[in-house]
């Protein structure tokens, strides 16, 4: 990465050849099989000024699935598939203590980077923290993405009315017809405030916010008294340094709303029940999911920026 402006663009990325590295004691050499295009990475990409504290030589590090090609750790065998944080490269060396052997039940394995991985866990944990009750109404933004899609399906299974917002009619049709949400609204069309009110005739009890200020602002007038907002993500802002504005900010007080930001990693005690529920949902067929896979490391920068702009349905991935 090289930083030029406050907003990431394709010119900030470069592809360069790397020398293969041999693993030392405690390490393994992995071939990267799949890379997750995670929205939060944009924040770290933009803080790159030449000496990123975690990224050493400036190569992007992200969540990947790798296959062990050589190992100097008894914890890993050649052929194991692992979840790791590694460089966006075809090969990398990783510390065996820092990787997780992939659960063989996960089919296809790429789901471990999405609905049966951190995205699904985030959905389950965030919903759990909101204490959803049957009969309530939940509104979730980025509803076709790996977090939002699972939030909505888990909430439906618990007897809530579920409304999503997404970019474009194709995504909204998928959210309604395939994922089974009660309604999905295209946030790119006008009058979102009025359309949310119509889709949530009894008001919104829980807002699961994945996008940020514009999306939250449009939801506030429909929130019920003592409503809860789970602030999960800021997809609209990771690659944007514009000041944020909330026209309906006062409603937070007037409606005695609780707004809670949460970081999934701080709730690791909930990962086991979350994964159990996600496996059950996949096995029983009531958690539906999609992936958009782009081939070739050279296409990763454009695919990443496209993902931030909303292109593609479900988890966005690179197959190097
Ligand atoms: N709190 C945590 O610990 C934690 C953990 C994991 C993920 N997260 C966050 O959870 C959120 C969802 O993650 P994900 O992987 O499922 O993301 P995602 O849905 O795959 O991607 C983000 C989506 O946000 C939407 N978006 C972007 N800019 C927008 C804008 N200006 N207005 C409205 N929508 C916009 C786009 O979808 P549309 O085309 O539908 O608009 C885009 O595809 C992200 O913000 C992520 O950072 C948080």
Residue 122 Cβ < 6 Å to ligand 1: yes
Burial of 80 (0-12, 13-18, 19+ CB in 10 A): middle
Determine the residue of 112, 145, 168, 241 to mutate for testing ligand 1's pocket, defined as the one with the most ligand atoms within 8 A of the Cβ atom: 145
Distance from Cα 145 to the centre of ligand 1, integer Å:
7
- Which residue among 8, 39, 173, 290 has the greatest number of ligand 1 atoms within 8 angstroms of its CB, and so is best to mutate? 39
**Residues 66, 82: Cα–Cα separation, whole Å:** 5
Q: What is the pLDDT of residue 205?
A: 98
Window from 21-35, 40-54, 173-187 with minimum mean pLDDT: 40-54
- Evaluate if residue 7 carries a pLDDT over 90: no
Return the pLDDT at 53.
Answer: 55
Contact 296, 126 (CB under 8 A): no
Q: Tell me: pLDDT of 202 over 70.
A: yes
Side-chain-side CA neighbours of 172 within 13 Å: the count stands at 15
234 lines ligand 1 (CB under 6 A): yes
Q: Helix (H, G, I), strand (E, B), or coil: what is residue 176?
A: helix
The burial of 201, by beta-carbon neighbours within 10 Å (0-12 exposed, 13-18 middle, 19 or more buried), is given as exposed
Residue-level pLDDT at 52: 54
- For atom 33 of ligand 1, the residue with the nearest CA is 211
**pLDDT reading at 243 higher than 50:** yes
State the pTM of this model: 0.94
- Helix runs in the chain, H state only: 41-46, 118-129, 146-157, 169-173, 192-199, 213-219, 251-254, 271-283, 300-309
Q: What is the pLDDT of residue 51?
A: 46
CB 205 within 8 A of CB 255: no
CA distance 71 to 64: 17
Structure tokens at 216: 């939250």
The token pair at 79 is 């052929």
* pLDDT tens column, 110-156: 999 999 999 999 999 999 999 999 999 999 999 999 999 999 999 99
**Whether the Cβ atoms of residue 172 and residue 185 lie closer than 8 Å to each other:** yes
Q: Is the CB of 262 under 6 A from ligand 1?
A: yes
| Residue 187 to residue 295: CA distance in whole angstroms | 29
* Per-residue confidence (pLDDT) for residue 1, from 0 to 100: 62
pLDDT tens for each residue of 285-320: 999 999 999 999 999 999 999 999 989 999 999 999
Measured from the Cα of 266, ligand 1's closest atom is: 3
> How far apart (Å, rounded) are the C-alpha atoms in residues 114 and 74?
28
pLDDT digits (tens, 9 = 90+) for 30-75: 999 999 999 988 887 876 554 455 666 778 889 999 999 999 999 9
Average pLDDT over residues 79-83: 97
Section 16-43 average pLDDT: 92
Residues whose CB is less than 8 angstroms from the CB of residue 4 and which lie 6 or more positions away in sequence, other chains included: 11, 12
Pocket probe mutation, ligand 1, options 146, 207, 211, max atoms within 8 Å of Cβ: 211
Could you identify the atom of ligand 1 that is nearest to the CA of residue 40? Answer: 47
Per-residue pLDDT, averaged over 218-230, amounts to 98
């Amino acid at each position: 990465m090289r930083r030029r402006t406050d907003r990431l663009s394709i010119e900030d990325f470069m592809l360069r050849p790397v020398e293969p590295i041999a693993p030392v004691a405690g390490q393994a050499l992995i071939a990267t099989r799949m890379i997750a295009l995670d929205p939060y990475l944009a924040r770290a990409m933009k803080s790159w000024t030449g000496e990123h504290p975690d990224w050493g030589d400036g190569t992007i590090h992200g969540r990947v699935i790798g296959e062990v090609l050589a190992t100097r750790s008894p914890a890993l065998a050649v052929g194991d598939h692992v979840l790791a944080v590694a460089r966006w490269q075809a090969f990398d060396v990783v510390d065996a203590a820092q990787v997780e052997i992939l659960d063989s039940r996960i089919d296809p394995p790429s789901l471990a980077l999405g609905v049966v991985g951190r995205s699904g866990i985030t959905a389950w944990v965030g919903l759990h923290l909101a204490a959803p009750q049957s009969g309530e109404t939940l509104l979730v933004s980025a509803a076709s993405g790996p977090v939002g899609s699972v939030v909505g399906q888990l909430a439906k299974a618990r007897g809530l009315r579920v409304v999503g917002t997404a970019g474009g009619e194709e995504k909204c049709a998928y959210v309604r017809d395939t994922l089974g949400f009660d309604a999905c609204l295209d946030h790119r069309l006008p009058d979102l405030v009025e359309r949310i009110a119509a889709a949530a005739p009894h008001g919104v009890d829980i807002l699961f916010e994945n996008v940020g200020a514009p999306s939250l602002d449009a939801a506030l007038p429909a929130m019920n008294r003592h409503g809860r907002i789970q602030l999960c993500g800021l997809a609209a802002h990771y690659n944007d340094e514009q000041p944020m504005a909330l026209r309906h900010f006062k409603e937070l007080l007037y409606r005695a709303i609780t707004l809670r930001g949460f970081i999934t990693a701080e709730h690791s005690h909930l990962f086991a029940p979350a994964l159990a529920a996600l496996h059950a949902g996949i096995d029983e067929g009531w958690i539906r999911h999609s992936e958009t896979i782009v081939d070739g490391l050279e296409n990763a920068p454009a695919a990443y920026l496209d993902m931030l702009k909303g292109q593609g349905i479900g988890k966005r991935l690179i197959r190097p």
